[in-house]
Amino acid sequence: MGQHLPVARPRLRVRVVRRLVLGALLGSAVLVLGACSVDDVVNFGWAMPDPATEQGPHIYELWRWSWWAAMATGAVVWALIFWVIWRYRRRSDEDVPVQTRYNLPLEIFYTIAPIMMVIVFFYWTVTVQNVVLAEVDDPDVTVEVVGQQWSWTFNYMDEDAVDAPVVYAAGTASQIPTLWLPKDETVHFNLHSPDVIHSFWVVGFLMKMDVVPGRVNSFQVTPNVEGTFKGKCAELCGTYHSRMLFDVNVVSRAEYDAYLQSLYDLGNFSDTPLLGGSDARTQAGLNTNGDH
């Protein structure tokens, strides 16, 4: 008489834990599916376009397996969290675990496991990087790419002909340029900038590289899918960064040659590549006051 016994409510705790688990799973599903289009959900493309170059699948596989590793790690972490919540839940007012005890094997595990994960990620990242940045000595096509405020210039080099003119296509802030490339041929890009750091990115190639003033970065790709692809600057380069767009046409060699001839017929040729001047803010259409 006069004593109050603690009332255990195990069923209520079970229901609470189940609701927490269900809520976490539903929330994760909403976040994943909400970031995907219908095609992404059906094809499960890992938010990546289909690779359009011979080098693209290496990048795609690195991306895909990184997602699998991240999801597996997340599943293990969430499972351990909910297991600890259930296994070591407080059952009574006296059931309080020791607060000063440590678990040496567990501490070793959560120190060693992240280190091993970083080593694995680093190894495969460097492996893929070596593949996609490998260059042949004699590419089929060389394009001198210039990223300037606020568009792109593409210089098509003919290294096989002596004193051959350089044909080019230049965009403006009001006109998006188009880069033409032949299918199944190795293309070498040299990247130039006369002003600020840009980033040359063809989305369908799954490859991008910074365009740095005073430094010529380069890489090679072999497009193996004909079609039109989107390109853009992936570096926040200034006020009109949103205008740094271009298209890419991957065509047959005959169509590619005909396009270069059309540029020559239009007078778009020079003795040397157009790499930009000291004053980069001279693009037509930069402002509406007529001061170009």
Instruction: State pLDDT tens for residues 65-116.
Output: 999 999 999 998 899 889 888 887 777 777 676 777 777 888 888 889 899 9
Per the prediction, the chain carries an average pLDDT of 81
Burial class (CB within 10 angstroms; exposed 0-12, middle 13-18, buried 19+) of 40? middle
**Residue 289 — φ and ψ, nearest 5°?**
-95, 0
Residue-level pLDDT at 27: 58
Residue-level pLDDT at 159: 67
Instruction: State pLDDT tens for residues 214-239.
Output: 999 999 999 999 999 999 999 998 88
Lowest mean pLDDT among 78-82, 104-108, 182-186, 241-245: 104-108
Q: SS3 letters for 22-52?
A: HHHHHHHHHHHHHCCCHHHHHHCCCCCCCCC
- Delimit the domains of the chain by residue range: 10-90+103-132, 141-270
**Which pLDDT band holds residue 15 (cuts at 50, 70, 90)?**
low
Bigger pLDDT: 144 or 30?
A: 144
Is CATH 1.10.260.40 the classification given to domain 141-270? no
Q: How many CB atoms lie within 10 A of CB 115?
A: 9
Lowest mean pLDDT among 48-62, 182-196, 244-258: 48-62
Residue-level pLDDT at 39: 42
* Element of type H or E holding 148: strand 141-148
SS3 state of residue 9: coil
Residue-level pLDDT at 86: 85
Residue 46 has pLDDT above 60, yes or no: yes
Residue 26 has pLDDT above 70, yes or no: no
Lowest mean pLDDT among 41-55, 138-152, 191-205: 41-55
d(CA 32, CA 93): 40
Bigger pLDDT: 259 or 163?
A: 259
Tell me the sheet residues that pair with 188. Answer: 142, 220
Overall average pLDDT of the 192-204 stretch? 94
Residue-level pLDDT at 292: 37
Residue-level pLDDT at 286: 43
CA angle 188, 190, 193 (to 5 degrees): 155
**Which pLDDT band holds residue 44 (cuts at 50, 70, 90)?**
low
* Element of type H or E holding 14: helix 10-34
Residue 7 has pLDDT above 80, yes or no: no
Contact indicator for 23, 31 with CB cutoff of 8 Å: no
Residue 31 has pLDDT above 90, yes or no: no
Q: Which residue shows structure tokens 């095609």?
A: 39
Residue-level pLDDT at 272: 87
